[in-house]
Structure formats: C-alpha cells, structure tokens
Structure 1
Amino acid sequence: MERSGTALEAAPLLHTDPDHRSHAFHPRTVSRVVDRIKALTMELLPIQVDPEELTSPTSSILSIEVVEAYEKIAGDFHRCTPFALMEARRYFRKQAYLNPSDSDENEGRKLACEALARKIVARVPMQDQYSLLSARFTVIEEDGDESLPLSVLESAVDQHAIFFLSSGESQRCVFALWRGLLVQRVKPNGAIEYEQYKRSADYSGGFLAHFDPDRVGVPRYQFFFRILLWIIFLMAYTVAIQTPDRGFGLEDVLLYVQVAGYVLEDVTKMYKIGIWSSLSFWLVVNFSIYALLTVAFVYRVADLATHDSHRSTQLRLVSFQWLSSAAPLIWMKLLTIFDLYQYFGTLQIVTFRMMRESAVFFTLLALLALGFGQALTGLDVADQSRDSTEAVIHSLIQGLLGSPTFEMYEKDTSSSYPFGQILYYGWSVLTLVILLNILVALFGSAYQECTDEAVPTYMAFFAGKTISAVRAPDTYVYVAPFNLIEVCILPLEFVLSTKAYAQLNRYLMGTLFCVPLCAIALFETHFDGTRAKDFAALTEEPDEFGDAEEDPQPCRTSDDMGDAEEEGLEISKVSFEELKKALPSLTRSVQGEILWEIKELKKRLDKMENDKKNGGKGSKE
C-alpha cells in the first residue's frame, strides 16, 4: 500500500506492495556488480599489504586512477557502487574467517573495499551524498533468497565498518539525522531516502509551524523522550519492590504496561531488520529484564488468583524475589543517558570489547570447572557419600573469587585426602595465578585497541545508535509503551482509506505526545538558534572559503579602532597564486610523487627520442 509522504516514514508495519519495491535495482544486477568488484579487488591486491597504505589519504595503491576505475565498474548502475563495495567487504571478511591461511590478504581486501566506498562517496556533491548513503538495495544470498533491503550506511553499521562510518560524509549525514535536519521519506516507488526536513524553509516560523507529530521520531528527541519514560519506569519499579504487601496498584500497572511496550518494540525491530542485525549488548540486557519481570508477573497473577492466604504469601514472596533480581540490569540501563558524551560512549565500547574478549577466559574456565568439579565429586562418590557435593561446588566458586577453602580438604575434615587437597591446590593455582592473569591481559588488549582509535570508534558507535533509531520505525512513530495503542488501531488500516488512516494517526499522535511536541516546538523556535546555519550546512562544503579575499589591501581609512595604514605598504606583495606554488602537493604519497616524476621524465625521454628519430629522417631526405 502506497502511503502519503510524512517526515519520518519507513516501511509499513505488516505488509509491502510488490509493485513498489523499497530498493532501486534488481537484486541479481546488484549481485553481479558485487561479483565484479570482488574480481577486480582480487586483481588489485593479490598479496598482503600494510593496512596503513590503504587508509592513507595519499595511498599509492588506492590512487585517483584506481578510485576512478571503481567508479566506472557498475556502468549505468553506478548508484549502487558504494553499497556493492560494502557487500564485497562483507564477503572478504567472511573469507578471512573461513580461510585462516589467507586471512591477511582478505583483511587487506576488506579494508580496501571500505576505503574505496569512503573515497567514492567523498567525490559525490554534498547535495547528492544523502540519497547515495540512504538508497537501499538487495542482493541474492548464498541460499538463493533475496536479502533484506539495506543502504550503504546500514550495511556499514551492521559490519561495524569504523573507517567508513568515521568519514566526514557519513558523520555529517548521521548528525543531520540525529538533529532532525534530515528525515526519511518514502518515494512514489516505495524507496526510502534521506531528505532535508520538509519544514526547513520555515525554521524561523512560529510555534505551530514546528508542532509536527513526525518530530517525535527524530533520534535526538526520541532519545530524550525514551530516557524520560525509562526514569518513570524506574520510579514505578522502585515503588513496586519497596511495597510488597500492597495489592496490585498503579505502580504495577505502569511497570508491566511499559514492559509490554518495550517487548513489542524490540520484537518488531528484530522482525524487520533481522535477529543478527539487531543483536547488541543492550538487546541482551533488555530481554534479560523482560524475562525476569515476566516470571515475576506470572507469580503475581497467581498470587492474586489464589484464595489460600498462606499460598498467596508464598507466591508473592517468589514474585518479589524475581522482581528484585532485575534491579542491577534496570539501573545499568541508565548508562545510556550519558553515551552522548564521548567519554561515556568510549567507556561503554571498552566494556563491550572487554566482555567479548573475556569469552576465551570463560571457555577455559568452564572446561576446567567441569574437570575439577567432576574429580572432586568423584572422590565424594568413592567415599559412598554425596553429602558434600554442594560444598564442593561452593568451594570451587570461592576459590575462583579469591577466597579458597583449603580447610575443607585437610586430612582431619575430608575423606578424599590427599587427592582432594592436591586437586584443590591445582584449581587455585590455575584460576588465581594463570586464568585471572589471562583475563587481565585480554582486558588490557581490548582497552588498548579502543583507546588507540577512541575517536573513530566512538563515531561508529554514535552512527550505530542514530541509525538504529530511524532504521525500522513504523510508518507513524509511537514510542514505547504508546506502541500498544498503535497495535489497537492497526486493523483500521485495512478499513479506512490511506488519507483517513494518516489523519487518524496524526490526530492521535498530536494528542498523546502533546507535551513533548510542545517542548520540541519551543526548542526549535526559541532555543535552537543555529538552525538556519545547520540547514545551510547540509549543502555547503565545510572546507570552502569562497568569500575569502586572496589578495587583500591594507585598511586605508581611519576609525575608532585605529589610524589608516601608510601609503605604499601592501599585504599582498606576493600574490596568492605565487604563494600556492611553494606548497607541496599532497595528492600523492612520497613514493607516488617519485613514481610520477619518473613517469614524466620517461615521457620526456621518449619524446626526445622520437624527435631525434624524426629529425634524422628529415636530414636524410
């Protein structure tokens, strides 16, 4: 079903019109472009190269000629070239994992594809970059199915392509999306692209010009609105766990209604963009919270449905035990308030990287724990007594945490002596001396990797956060838990006309979000003073100094700030063009410059040789 254009429209919630595809070219066409890029990249990098040589602005490998060759590789379908390069990057990343012997070569090809995509986007005029970054394409997957529509920006976020996402072009697009200067629009053919906000010409208009329900979906406003709702959720949760003897009150209603909205939102996002694309640390935290609160809710409902007072007390106790267990995770979510700042965002990245690196530690720990646990409990069974099995497990955990219970395996207290004592000594040495030091080394390595590239890593993190906010919203953005209301009116989409359904949603959103919309309109009209400059900056190159006078004259008039300069004194004794001739050329590296000079010299020698031959022939004649 084709929809009327609103500022933040995306794909419909439940269905799409096959006559209006959300991508530009046939997936087989794009796949053939990707295959062509793979083949050319294999020719470009048949051997391992230094990664810095690929990311350098003056790279002798990814020269201007190479970039121009890749620009022509798709012919009339050049609009999909950056996306195809990112898909080729995905292929080489997979090959680096599957073929360890060629890992370095494939890592170089992967980085080359990413760098080429960045260079090609940078060569496009600014006003066309946004549509290029947002145009969605599909490819044919290995199983023969068509992939989900993706833009080059979304593909880069999925692959965590730091070098591409940290480019000025990507960050300008991301930041404009974050502030609502760019919005998603649905084209007549169903394609989704980023365009300048439709009310940009009215940035100096009045309050009502900015009271637009679609502004709720702007990532920046959506972010703060979600934080406010999460604080309300936290307050309701705090009251609920502090009053276990009360009945099912208002705080419980707020708590579980918000949980239902959050669950629906996350499930919808996973359905739209795929499980692996949406998987993140915070998604795991979210579903852990949902699981704990769901169990607590089930026990609470059982408590309310039970007439036996003793049984009801037991069920309520279990319910509040599960409810209280979610507190650390709920408070942890408040970290997302501060990740707008680079320090806290980098801190989160370091923490996530450390947790990922700790997988090696926990794998070794699990294997050792199973082995030592089986040995110690086996000694317990050999003694025909299973009374101390639970104590054995606790002793292993205490030993790991730095408080080993050696007295449990002494001669006077254990029948497993001396084997149990020797095994426990071995467990303590392996965990406290070896494994924990391995963990510290892994954490140190992860921290070093993040801090070495703190700025580009944070840029990629911020890009992922912004794109996730606009990537899979409904056609009309209802922030959870208000999405439960959207579900209730969703059947009307098949009854009402498109115009009537759109009008219903806008009226409903204007009513539900009246307070935040008033705050947004007030901010944009009175406090966001740089908005006119921000809209202008969307199409103006930031490095252009067209207004600068290259050969200025001294001030020849006297005023309150000083006397006029003496006649005969000049600023531009040497013209600006003459000064520019003294500057070095940075379009090529030192090696590239030398090669270029050699080529120029060879051309001159060839010309002299040809002239000599032609001159010799003329003299004979």
Structure 2
Amino acid sequence: MSQNERFDNNDSDSLILSFNGDANHEFQEINENLGIVRDVIRNLVPLGAIKVAEGIVIEPVVDYVFESCKRNPNMVFVTLYYARGLQEIDHHEGDSVGPALRDMRKKRIECSELLARELVHKFNDQDLLFTKVLTKRYAFSQYDEISNRKNALDLATRLYSEMGNCGAIFLSDNEVQACVYALWSGHLVPRISRTFPILAVIDYYIPNHNLNFLENFKNLELLNIPRNQYLLDVFSYIMFLIIYTMVAANYNEIRELNGFLEGSMYLLVFSFILNDIRTLQKHGIKEFLYFRRILSLILHVILATDFALRIKHVTSFDHSIPQFHRKALSLVPIFLYWRVLLTLEAFQPIGRWLTQISRILKKSMSYYILLALAFIAFFQSFLVLENTHKRHEGDDDHLGDKNEWGIFALLVKGILNAPDFPGASKLENRFGFVLYSVYVFTVSVILFAVLLPLFMTAFATRRSVPEEYLAHFAHIVIRKVKHNQPTRYNYPSPFNLLYFTLVLPISSLSIIIGHNHIRLYANIEKFLTRIIFFIPMIGFALIETHFVNDKQDKEARDLDLRELPGLPFPEDEKQMLRRILYGLNDIKEQHRSLHFRLEAIESQLA
C-alpha cells in the first residue's frame, strides 16, 4: 500500500468517526431535550390540577424551554413527540384508567401543542424554520430507519387525524401554515436518497425558482408538487362527471353502445381502481378509513357491477338484464357528486363549508345512532305483532299483504313526518295504533333533538371553522407529500394506465437484465414520462413561470390574508413585543461581538 493510499484511508476513517460522533451527540441532545420538555409539562399540569392551557404556557415558560434546549431546532419535534406519545398511551389504555388521568393527559397534550407553537415563534430565520424546525426528520437512536423517521409536521397531523380536537392549535399557526403552503406550492421540496433499498426522504430544501418556460417544462419534479397532483385529481374527477353525464343523456336505446364515451368512462373507472390498489399496497388499509375513500369504493363497486351487467347484456339476448344495468347506473350520481365535492376541499370556500358540515355531523352522530336503534327496536316490535296477529286470525289476506317490506315502509313514513296510522291499525286495531303513536312520538323527539343542536352548533363553531380548515388543509398537504415520497414520479388517474402499459414493462425488463443498466432505464422512464405528461407539463410550466413568485411574502404564506391582500394587517401586542425583544437580542449580540473584538485588540496591544 502506498503512502498516499494510507493517508486517504486514515482520512476516511477519521471522517467516519467524526460523523458517528456528531450523530451520537445529536441523538444525545434529542433525548436530553425530550427529558426537559417532559419535566416541564409534568410540572405545569399535575394530576388533579386542570387549568386552561393558555394560562399555563406563558412567556417565561417558553423562554425557559428555549434556553434549556440550547436553542436547538429539534425542540419543536421533541415537544410534539411527547404529545404524540401521550396520545398513543391514551389510545392503548382507553377507558381502563380513571377520568381524572385521561383529562390530565389531554390537558398535557394541549399544553405541549401550545408550547410547540410558541417555540416556533422563537426562530426568526425562515429558512431555518422550514428546513430544520418543521420538516427535518429526527431520530432518537442510530437504529431508527430513515424511511420511518418523522418530522414536526408529521407528528402534528397525526395528532389532528387521530384526535380531532388536538393538532389544530399548532397547524393553524401562521408560521406553520407558511411552511405548509411552501410544501403545497413547491417552494419546499424533499431531497430523496436513492442509495438505500427503499427510497427515503432525508431532508427538505428550498429550490431556486426559474422564470424560463423551457427550463420549467423540462423539470419533471413539477409532477411531484402536491398542488399539481391535486389539480390532476380534480381534472380527472370532473372529466369523469362530464363523461358520465353525456353517457346518461344519450341513453335512449339500451342495446346501443355509446362508443367512445362509454369506453372512456369505463377506462377512467379502471384507472381509479388501479390507483386504489396501488395506494392499498403502499399505505395499507388505514388509508381507506377516510370518507372520500369509502365513497370511492362504493362508486367502484357500483360501476364494476354496471360494467359486468353491460357485458352480459351485449353477449346475451335476455331482455331483463338491461333493466338491472340501468338501475345500477342510476345509483352513480348519488355518490359521484359528493365525491367530486370532497375532491374540491382544498379550495378555501368549499373546504371551510365542508369542515363546518363535518364538525356538525360528528357532534350529532349520537342522535343518529339513537334514531337507528329506535327504528330497529320498533321494526322488531311490529314484526312480532304481525306474526301474533296472523296466528290469531288464521288468515293472511286479512292483514292487507303486510310483510317485512310493508313494515319497513310504515316506519320510514314515520321518520319522514308522514305517518300511516290506518296501515298500522291493520296489524292490530288498538294496540297497533298505540304502538305506532309511541314510535312517531319517539322519532319526533329525536329529530327535534337533532335539528336544534345542528343549528346551534353551526352558529357556535363558525369562529373556529377557519382554524379547523387550516389544520385540515395541512393534513391534506402532508398526506399528499407522503404519497409522493416513495416514488420517482407519480402517475395519477388516468395517466396510471399509460404507466402500467409503457413504463412498468420496461422497469420489469431492467430488473431482469440487471443493475448495470439502471441509468439507461432512468433515461427511458424520463422520456416516456415527458410524452405521457406533455400537455399537463405545459400548464405546470406556465404556472411556475407567470403565476409563482420567487419569494413567499406574507400574503402568499397566509391563506386567510390572501383573501384581502390590499388591507394592512395590524400586529397584536405579543407580535410587537416579540419583534422588540428580537431587536434587543440582536443589539446585545452586536455589543457582545464588539466587546470580544476590543478585548482581542487590547490583548494584542499588550
């Protein structure tokens, strides 16, 4: 071995040792900061002393945590990690613990969230706030896999999604929303490491904005921006709604195929199903617990049944099948319009309205459960009464052909405020009338108990709807970012059909040939992707060139302020005091540096 090679090996070994030392020091700092935050929250909220979180997390407490954690950017992540841990403990134990302990944990979660929000305001540098405080992925040991590491925004969205009354305080903050909007618009993009067996995001960075249309058109990374992905989803569902409307309008003759329109409709359905299968494969069954996914599954089942009946009708001469085919197709608009409306939830007016509706429905869900229980109970009562009356009379025709479906229709009329007392009297002249009267009275009381809280909740929660919507918007963005991370390029519906037809066979062929031709496969994939997304890339390049600013000003960062960008936004007292304190700190730092320089000059002169 030569002397130069020996020096190179020694240098590489020293670099590895220094890297391991820095990593171990970082893990040690994170664990120490977690202990500091845990002790502070425990002292603030002891068992049996439940107070308002805003009155507990005051400025001296925030300053103490900020200085005790040595102004390390990981303190926000650590604070939310502690809140997330309390949430996990509360979910696992459930009702096995006392109500006092559960209330204490909820209050500690709220205080941790409020403390994390105030700690965010301590960082004055926007680049540091975006790349280190909110989006940097931290770990507590070197054994944590890179693909499983979380950042502060991930933890906050998990708090919001699994406990609806938590997470909104942190996610609706102006500075946090600035980072969320940067992720949404592509001002902050992930740096993906492709050296691992599984593609993983290692950190985020702020790219340079390009005003050249041709350069933006060549940049395929625009396909991974959540805003552009969302626009493609909206376009696909609106196109599906238009095509379905045209197919339904031209359905004069059932035996005539609608040619291109009907084929396009079924191709879109097939692309949606492929997209759901891919989502299930990558993210598991938990991704399908959202209401929009449930609506999509119902739509796919109905349209798949419609397609099967259509094929059976084309290949047979049975005239009863087209009737079932049209019945299945008639159910589609009931779910399709709601699905399209839920797709538009990122637009602020529609999103706020949907947030208000969902919150009202969640609070009134107990009344609907009570109404369903009353319906089932009275259905069984009338069923028993019918069977008893049959045995007593010995004549089935005396009941007026009153079967299970007739009882069901009778009870539905009671819910719709159109009671059928003569029909109830046919079951049993006196007792049937009395039982049906009790049912109508019970249903009326429940419905009044539902409607009044609905309107009361609508007026009471109007002020908190913007904060709830901002938290929901952050949840949408982070979920979209997570979906985009493990892949090189994303192919939403209906472009995924071209992916499975053109790109995937080449990928399988490259695996068979070997890893020596990975660069060739990547170039072929880029070429095919440019062909597939030729028209969308023109639109995205125009947006990046003409409608995106290089720097995010306050109006572009705050979703609420973008509605009225011309009005001046007054600062509150806390913001003014915070700005004054930051200015004083800068002056102190300048005086300190000047003092050090004077001491150095005096020492040199001496």
Number of the residue aligned with 1:468: 479
Contact 1:178 1:466 in 2 (8 A): yes
Between the two proteins, the alignment pairs up a number of residues equal to: 502
What one-letter code is carried by the residue in structure 2 that aligns with 1:106?
A: R
Number of the residue aligned with 1:533: 551
Number of the residue aligned with 2:462: 451
Task: Write the mapping of 1:38-437 to structure 2, written as runs, cut at 5 A.
Answer: 38=38, 40-46=40-46, 47-54=49-56, 59=58, 62-69=61-68, 71=69, 80-91=77-88, 94=91, 98=95, 99=97, 100-124=99-123, 125-132=125-132, 133-136=134-137, 148-160=148-160, 161-187=167-193, 190-197=200-207, 200-201=208-209, 203-242=210-249, 243=251, 244-247=254-257, 249-276=259-286, 279-306=289-316, 309-310=317-318, 313-336=319-342, 338-384=344-390, 385=396, 387-389=401-403, 390-410=405-425, 414-432=426-444, 434-437=445-448
Contact 1:83 1:155 in 2 (8 A): yes
Number of the residue aligned with 2:543: 523
- Mapped partners of 2:230, 2:463: distance in 1: 29
What one-letter code is carried by the residue in structure 1 that aligns with 2:527?
A: Y
Q: Secondary structure at the match of 1:177?
A: helix
Moved >4 Å (runs of 4+): 24-40, 75-80, 137-140, 144-149, 535-539, 582-588
Contact 2:27 2:140 in 1 (8 A): yes
- Mapped partners of 2:30, 2:62: distance in 1: 25
- Residue 157 of structure 1 and its aligned partner are, at CA, apart by 1.8
Contact 2:33 2:75 in 1 (8 A): no
1:472-525 per-residue CA deviation (whole Å, 9 max, x = no partner) reads 123211121212333341424524633223222221111111111112222322
Contact 1:166 1:459 in 2 (8 A): yes
- Mapped partners of 2:323, 2:147: distance in 1: 48
What one-letter code is carried by the residue in structure 2 that aligns with 1:286?
A: S
What one-letter code is carried by the residue in structure 2 that aligns with 1:114?
A: E
Contact 1:349 1:450 in 2 (8 A): no
- Residue 395 of structure 1 and its aligned partner are, at CA, apart by 0.9
What one-letter code is carried by the residue in structure 1 that aligns with 2:151?
A: S
Does 1:439 pair with 2:412? no
Contact 1:38 1:88 in 2 (8 A): no
After superposition, the Cα gap between the structure-2 partners of 1:79 and 1:172, relative to the gap in structure 1 and judged at 3 Å, is: closer
TM-score, length-normalised on structure 2?
Answer: 0.73
What one-letter code is carried by the residue in structure 2 that aligns with 1:51?
A: A
- Mapped partners of 1:34, 1:185: distance in 2: 27
Number of the residue aligned with 1:11: none
- Mapped partners of 1:584, 1:241: distance in 2: 57
- By percentage of residues, which structure has more helix? 2
Number of the residue aligned with 1:563: none
Does 1:500 pair with 2:513? no
What one-letter code is carried by the residue in structure 2 that aligns with 1:520?
A: F
- Residue 168 of structure 1 and its aligned partner are, at CA, apart by 2.2
Contact 1:292 1:325 in 2 (8 A): yes
1:126-183 per-residue CA deviation (whole Å, 9 max, x = no partner) reads 212223322345799xxx9999543321222232111111122221111112222222
After superposition, the Cα gap between the structure-2 partners of 1:583 and 1:535, relative to the gap in structure 1 and judged at 3 Å, is: closer
- Mapped partners of 2:30, 2:267: distance in 1: 44
- Residue 96 of structure 1 and its aligned partner are, at CA, apart by 9.3
What one-letter code is carried by the residue in structure 2 that aligns with 1:439?
A: V
RMSD of aligned C-alpha atoms?
3.7
What one-letter code is carried by the residue in structure 1 that aligns with 2:235?
A: L
Could you tell me which runs of 5 or more consecutive residues in structure 1 were left unpaired when the two chains were aligned.
1-23, 540-581, 589-621
TM-score, length-normalised on structure 1?
Answer: 0.72
- Residue 233 of structure 1 and its aligned partner are, at CA, apart by 1.2
- Residue 207 of structure 1 and its aligned partner are, at CA, apart by 2.7
After superposition, the Cα gap between the structure-2 partners of 1:305 and 1:379, relative to the gap in structure 1 and judged at 3 Å, is: same
- Residue 54 of structure 1 and its aligned partner are, at CA, apart by 4.8
After superposition, the Cα gap between the structure-2 partners of 1:250 and 1:34, relative to the gap in structure 1 and judged at 3 Å, is: farther
What one-letter code is carried by the residue in structure 1 that aligns with 2:52?
A: D
- Mapped partners of 1:267, 1:159: distance in 2: 27
After superposition, the Cα gap between the structure-2 partners of 1:510 and 1:431, relative to the gap in structure 1 and judged at 3 Å, is: same
- Residue 464 of structure 1 and its aligned partner are, at CA, apart by 1.8
Q: Specify which structure has the bigger relative contact order, considering alpha-carbon pairs within 8 angstroms and separated by 6 or more residues.
A: 1
- Residue 76 of structure 1 and its aligned partner are, at CA, apart by 11
1:555-582 per-residue CA deviation (whole Å, 9 max, x = no partner) reads xxxxxxxxxxxxxxxxxxxxxxxxxxx9
- Mapped partners of 2:206, 2:523: distance in 1: 23
